[in-house]
Amino acid sequence: MSNTSCPHPDKKLFEHTILPTLHILVFIVGLIANGWGLNSLRNNWRKLGNINIFVLNLGLADILYLLTLPFLIVYHLKGNKWIFLEEFCLVTRFCFNLNLYCSIGFLTCISVYRYLSIVHPMRTMGRITTTHSVVISIVVWILVCAQSSPDMTYEKIFMNGSKCFDTTSYEHSESYLDYTIGWTFFGFCIPFAIIVGCYGHVTVVICRSETIDKNVKQQLLKLLAILILLFLLCYTPYHVFKNLSMYSRILISKGTCPGWDSGVFIMRQASRGLVSLNSALNPLVYLHVNEDMGDQFRQMFRSCFKLKSRSVSVPQTEQEAKNII
């Protein structure tokens, strides 16, 4: 137990109002966007290329997490009271980690494949097959499952099963911090460095090249911008403030209240909401990886826009009004 306590801002507004509202939004948008993306892949299954296999797995990881959100929404709306089976608390936390690190893993795979196809096209032509992509996808799932499994061994159920925490108790804070630091390094820092390295080199190549089509250049730069947005908005704050929060808890358990604890506490709560946005933002990758999906989305958007324009149009003259009547 902690030997001292630090004054914390009231977290009821965030956990009981903002977070469930954000989860509802992510659930609706993410389910529709990922469902549409997976359906597009199904309709173009024969055209499924190497990168699209990673996109398929990215969508499956998002759907898996989105299906657990209704339970977390109920949990927060009921004042952080877990009314389901205790084992299911562990399942929801496991699915969150699975989605988070599988998303990072498959985004890294997409980046490496893009790098190879643009920077080393002759060396990789015909050497990377669909089988390679399937095997790599299976390896990513296995590695993430192995990485996420130890998290389930930490105590997450408190107060006679009414609480379902995403970290663990004060008693296990030190070992959990060691675990999350290793988790952050291998599951976040290394993939992020690979993505930055790949797209940094790709950006230099496409900017210097006079043979690459202008539209292709724009598509690649947009994909780079989306990946940077995902990491800076969703992934980076979550890992930084989760580790700082755990370190603060260790200091508190030893009788020290760090002056920066209140600020970290607020940012930690905010980062929990931001990281869930990745399931709603990942479908943006579909539009810049698969040309068919991008074309379908643009056609659908134009159709909706034309339909809306027709519905709001009004007769400009008396004769037009008579014709409509």
Please state the three-class secondary structure of the chain as a single string. Answer: CCCCCCCCCCCHHHHHHHHHHHHHHHHHHHHHHHHHHHHHHHHCHHHCCHHHHHHHHHHHHHHHHHCCHHHHHHHHHCCCCCCCCHHHHHHHHHHHHHHHHHHHHHHHHHHHHHHHHHHCHHHHCCCCCHHHHHHHHHHHHHHHHHHHHHHHHCCCEECCCCEECCCCCHHHHHHHHHHHHHHHHHHHHHHHHHHHHHHHHHHHHHHHCCCCCHHHHHHHHHHHHHHHHHHHHHHHHHHHHHHHHHHHHHHHHCCCCCCCHHHHHHHHHHHHHHHHCHHHHCHHHHHHHCHHHHHHHHHHHHHHHHHHHHHHCCCCCHHHHHHHC
β-bridge mates for residue 164, sequence order: 157
Q: What percent of the chain has pLDDT over 70?
A: 83
Q: What is the rounded CA–CA span in Å between residue 63 and residue 228?
A: 22
Which pLDDT value is given to residue 128? 83
313 pLDDT exceeds 70? no
**Domain architecture of the chain: domains with CATH:** 12-303 (1.20.1070.10)
Q: What is the rounded CA–CA span in Å between residue 35 and residue 63?
A: 8
Which pLDDT value is given to residue 36? 85
Which pLDDT value is given to residue 109? 94
Q: What is the rounded CA–CA span in Å between residue 106 and residue 245?
A: 28
The CA-based angle 70-289-215, given to 5 degrees, is: 135
Taking residues 184-194, report their average pLDDT.
Answer: 95
Most confident of 9-23, 105-119, 252-266: 105-119
Beta-strand pair 157-158/163-164: antiparallel
Q: Which of the two residues, 155 and 71, has the higher pLDDT score?
A: 71
Which pLDDT value is given to residue 325? 30
Most confident of 42-46, 115-119, 120-124, 214-218: 115-119
Question: Which pLDDT tens digit goes with each residue over 105-137?
Answer: 999 999 999 899 888 888 887 788 888 999 999
At 293, the pLDDT band (50, 70, 90 cuts) reads low
324 pLDDT exceeds 50? no
217 pLDDT exceeds 50? yes
Taking residues 14-39, report their average pLDDT.
Answer: 89
315 pLDDT exceeds 70? no
Taking residues 283-301, report their average pLDDT.
Answer: 63
Q: How far apart are the first and last CA of the chain?
A: 77
pTM: 0.85
Taking residues 218-226, report their average pLDDT.
Answer: 82
284 pLDDT exceeds 90? no
* C-alpha pair distances (Å), 255 with each of 26, 114, 248, 252: 39, 51, 11, 5
